[in-house]
Chain A
């Protein structure tokens, strides 16, 4: 079991900077994030976009800001659980919390700071009414083990790198691979596009462009997908697997069921210290809401800074806390 003072849910910019402010108070942090690397949206959605409203930086690339934050918090030795989603929470008699991830990792923390931004990134599910009926019965949003497609008939949908790359890989494994995409051009890397077009010519892959999958059929297992083609109309295709690859989108996820007051997908907080309705659980950054809220990184930094002061008092009700400037004391790291 991992033990820490503050468990930060979400390793985006706000979660990362909170490690720094907590570290100044000698509070140790552990971060959990559903993405495989720290940085949140900044790494996942827009790493190459310049940000212009970080004080002191006329312009900084989102990915670079994350790298700098990682550098800045290094002295405080934060620990990470990446690629896992905080699933359930249990308050202990002593006021601390046990958080369990979707993969069974258990983290004990005195305080929880939810810095989950827009929520956790999950595969986008096509809006087909019965799609959930076929999950793990022929529909997969993530390919974990390509060997399960051996000698199977597979339909892949999407136009990005993952759709193209998996089509190429599955061409050698599956009995039949069909790639369905809504237009003729692809946003994926050019050599992958060329490869798929070549495989289509060789008859190893069936490429259906200007088309979308609009229906799924099957009794228990998936048997058939319906494809709507712009010119040719409806195509019905017998399949064993349908793999929609439409990227990731953020969802509030399990946090919604933790008993926190939530309005419009955001957690209500008291602006005094960004505490939620549950003592010991705080929410900072884009995930919280209050009157006058602005979803800005710089506001999240402020929120995290005030929050750790309150967290300190929650953890050590009898200890005195004196505020210190880094210019005076420098950085005294944590082991």
Chain B
């Protein structure tokens, strides 16, 4: 469907959720997960000021590199890997068709 991309989110129990995400709503991955009621807190509301939407990028999409703010916040997260990102900083665009992510463990 136009204006929609498909993304796959693996939750903390290993279950894969196939979601549709609109590209015209200025949404990010944290918000997409929340709208499907996946267990992503998004405590700070998407300002990269908490790390409750920590996720791993599984597919080989090239994302914009994390900002210094995002890196700073990942410093306060746990289980951080090379493919760690904050979901709130991943804007939904057409380039992300087929994106696959996995939710990081909660603290």
Interface size class of A (residues with CB under 8 A): 20 to 34
* Chain A stretch 134-177: residues in CB contact (< 8 A) with chain B: 158-160
B11 within 8 A of A: no
Q: Tell me if B107 and A46 are in contact (CB < 8 A).
A: no
Q: Tell me if A45 and B75 are in contact (CB < 8 A).
A: no
* Chain B stretch 1-56: residues in CB contact (< 8 A) with chain A: 43-45, 47, 49-50, 52
B105 within 8 A of A: yes
Give Cα A127–Cα B105 distance, bound, in whole angstroms.
9
B72 within 8 A of A: yes
Per DSSP, chain B at the interface is loop
Q: Tell me if A127 and B79 are in contact (CB < 8 A).
A: yes
From known contacts A45-B44, A46-B44, A250-B43, infer whether A182 and B80 are also in contact, taking CB-CB under 8 Å. yes
Q: Tell me if B47 and A249 are in contact (CB < 8 A).
A: no
From known contacts A159-B75, A181-B75, infer whether A125 and B107 are also in contact, taking CB-CB under 8 Å. yes
Q: Tell me if A183 and B105 are in contact (CB < 8 A).
A: no
Q: Tell me if A185 and B71 are in contact (CB < 8 A).
A: yes
* Chain A stretch 205-222: residues in CB contact (< 8 A) with chain B: 212
A319 within 8 A of B: no
Per DSSP, chain A at the interface is loop
From known contacts A118-B43, A249-B107, infer whether A46 and B75 are also in contact, taking CB-CB under 8 Å. no
A246 within 8 A of B: yes
Q: Tell me if A187 and B71 are in contact (CB < 8 A).
A: yes
A124 within 8 A of B: yes
Chain A contacts for B68, CB-based, 8 A = 187
- Nearest CB in chain A to that of B107: its residue: A127
Q: Tell me if B76 and A45 are in contact (CB < 8 A).
A: no
Chain B contacts for A185, CB-based, 8 A = 71
